[in-house]
Amino acid sequence: MQNNLKDIVSGQKLQKEELLALAYIDRTKEPFAKKWLDSSLIKVVLGPRRAGKSIFSLVLLKDRPFMYFNFDDEVLSSVGGISTDELMKELHATYGSDVKTILFDEIQNLPSWELFANRLHRGGYNLVLTGSNAQLLSKELATHLTGRHMPIEILPFDFNEFLRSKKFQINQEYSSLPRQRGELLNLTENYLLNGGFPEVAVSNVDPKDYLDVLLDAVLFKDVVKRHRVKFSTQVSNLANHLINNFSSLYTVRKLMEALNLKSTTTIEKYINYLEEAYLVFSLLRYSPKSMERIKSPRKVYAVDNGFIIAKAVQHSPDKGKLMENLVFTELVKRGAKPNRELFYYKTRNEREVDFVLKQGHVVTELIQVCYESINSDVEQRETRALFEASGELNVDTLTILTWDEEREVKKDGKTIQFKPLWKWLLDKKP
């Protein structure tokens, strides 16, 4: 095993150098991550597979000497478990005894990784860890690294990153230039349908085929294999059902009936697995009463619109719902935490508002998403829900995101801003 480990470390060092020699798209989270790079905290880079966590971390460390090891290496699975003492010996033999910064990739594949990380942290190492499972943020980190880690979430490209990948330059007059505005709308539609996974945005891969294979790989590696799920078909059916019903309400009991499963506990467990693997998010209804939040139906969103198209049963998914899913993921990328700072809402008259944004105990904004061109019936329905919710929640910042329409509607001293999706997506506010 020692010789194998030495070969793996040497081979990965070459891969690291080859990757660092390539050009990459600047990521929005880079300034935030750099701010914490020299702190004693363990930096934990989280997100779905193939969202760019490894590249982000490599680029983050490129100006300093650092050791690198990827626990997702196929050779490792063929040789069985590894000794962490042997690993550290081989890393120092390859990189030198003075190097104290380490990037460990996909560390969740190492059993009891958190104990190993904690030991190195106490020994003065500067650690950057990546992982494809949100459980890294919950049980293991909370238990062993309390107050000693900084999570950095890397999701598929946001719209600004996507435009950079397409080499599209925004100038100050873009909204008044028909050709550039048309190109921008075309790119927005591309992003709406194909999503922001880096490989899809940068390369000429077929989005549907690539993301179909990727989603199945995530289901197998991060759900079935990690959690030792016996009935893999049930998890797969649940994932496909939720992704095909994106931007829609669900209850666990109705899912149980639809999928012919025998236990709500099993459904809840499987949904948690899918959320941990960054495939879907569940959103609660906003209410000051915790029991009402828990008992109300939840809304489901996919981590990336590309997954929706890849797994779509219907020939042409609803663009209004695709827009809503895109807005949800963008809000998460901007740092809004689902079910703490981000909810959906229903008024006392059962009118739905897509998104409620909170800061602390204060509701700061209500957002409605509407793809169709605004006719009087649609406008009345959408604005009535917002004005009603505005009165109930005492909030004045009201937004309706449209495909390409900009204006405002006033009523009883309150104003709703109608804003094009592309313009809202370009807003760089955190």
**pLDDT over threshold 70, residue 238:** yes
**Alpha carbons 145 and 126: distance in angstroms, whole number:** 14
For the residues 32-60, what does the mean pLDDT come to? Answer: 95
Domain final residue pick, 133, 153, 173:
153
A 10 A CB-CB count for 142 gives: 12
Element (H, E) at 411: strand 407-411
What is the per-residue pLDDT for 378?
79
Tokens 């539609």 — which residue?
A: 189
Domain count, the chain: 2
| Assigned domain for 386 exists | yes
| pLDDT average, residue stretch 211-237 | 93
| 196 close to 306: Cβ distance less than 8 angstroms | yes
Q: What one-character-per-residue DSSP string does 350-371 give?
A: --EEEEEEEETTEEEEEEEE--
Does residue 82 sit within a domain? yes
Q: Which domain holds residue 27?
A: 2-153
**CA 148 centroid distance within chain:** 23
Q: Kindly provide the b/e burial profile for residues 10-44, where b requires at least 16 CB atoms within 10 angstroms of the residue's own CB.
A: eebbeebeeeeeeebbebbbeeebeeebeeebbbb
Q: What angle do CA 318, 320, 323 make, to 5 degrees?
A: 110
Residue 157 has pLDDT above 70, yes or no: yes
Query: Which token pair is 192?
Result: 């709406």
Amino acid at 428: K
Residues linked to residue 133 through DSSP beta bridges, in sequence order:
none
Rounded to an integer, the average pLDDT of 234-245 is: 96
Q: What is the CATH number of the domain that holds 120?
A: 3.40.50.300
* Single-letter residue type at 63: D
Tokens for 24? 């990459």
Q: How deeply is 408 buried, as exposed, middle or buried, from its count of CB atoms within 10 A (0-12, 13-18, 19+)?
A: exposed
Q: Which residue bears the tokens 């827009």?
A: 323
Note the pLDDT tens digit of each residue in 6-27.
999 999 999 999 999 999 999 9
**pLDDT at res. 78:** 60
| Distance in angstroms (rounded) separating the CA atoms of residues 46 and 277 | 10
Confidence (pLDDT) at 313: 81
Both tokens of residue 412?
């009883």
Residues 64-93: pLDDT tens digits?
999 999 998 776 766 567 899 999 999 999
SS3 100: coil
List the CATH number of the domain containing 373. 3.40.91.50
Is residue 379 very low, low, confident or very high in pLDDT (cuts 50, 70, 90)? confident
| 194 in a structural domain | no
pLDDT, tens digit (0-9, with 9 covering 90-100), for 268-281: 999 999 999 999 99
Does 67 map to a domain?
A: yes
What pLDDT was estimated at residue 430? Answer: 45
Can you tell me the distance from the alpha carbon of 364 to that of 292, in angstroms, rounded to the nearest whole number? Answer: 21
Residue 286 has pLDDT above 60, yes or no: yes
Is residue 129 a contact partner of residue 117, using CB atoms and an 8 Å limit? yes
Instruction: Give the phi and the psi of residue 356 in degrees, each rounded to 5.
Output: -110, 125
The answer to the question of residue 186 being in a domain is no
Cα within 13 Å of Cα(13), Cβ side: 17
d(CA 119, CA 314): 51
Indicate if the alpha-carbon torsion angle 288, 293, 297, 300 is positive or negative. positive
Q: How far is CA 95 from CA 14, 54, 119, 224, in A?
A: 12, 19, 20, 36
Q: What whole-number distance in Å separates Cα of residue 69 and Cα of residue 86?
A: 13
Q: End of a domain among 153, 174, 189?
A: 153
| Distance, CA of 142 to CA of 47 (rounded, Å) | 18
Q: What 3-state class would DSSP assign to 252?
A: helix
The more confident residue out of 204 and 407 is 407
3-state SS assignment for residue 196 = coil
| Angle of CA points 212, 51, 74, to nearest 5° | 75
Asked if residue 301 has pLDDT above 50, the reply is: yes
pLDDT digits (tens, 9 = 90+) for 47-60: 999 999 999 999 99
Tokens for 4, please give them: 């194998």
- Please state which of the ranges 72-76, 106-110, 332-336, 421-425 shows the lowest mean pLDDT: 72-76
Provide the residue type at 360 as one letter.
Answer: G
Q: Can you read off the two tokens belonging to residue 84?
A: 């962490």
End-of-domain residue from the set 153, 175, 207: 153
Three-state SS string over 158-184 comes to CHHHHHHHCCCCCCCCHHHCHHHHHHH
SS3 content of the chain, % helix, strand, coil (to 5): 50, 20, 30
Average pLDDT, the chain: 91
Q: What is the mean pLDDT of residues 347-358?
A: 96
H-state helical runs in 252-352: 252-258, 264-276, 290-295, 305-311, 319-333
Average pLDDT of 193-220? 95
Can you give the pTM of this predicted structure? 0.93
Q: What is the pLDDT of residue 174?
A: 59
Q: What mean pLDDT do residues 199-224 have? A: 94
Asked whether residue 183 is domain-assigned, the answer is no
In a domain, 139, yes or no: yes
Nearest Cα to Cα of residue 46 among 332, 308, 277, 330: 277
Model confidence band, residue 293 (pLDDT cutoffs 50, 70, 90): confident
> Residue 17 falls within a domain, yes or no?
yes
Looking only at the bridges linking them, the beta strands covering 126-131 and 42-46 are parallel
Average pLDDT over residues 239-263: 94
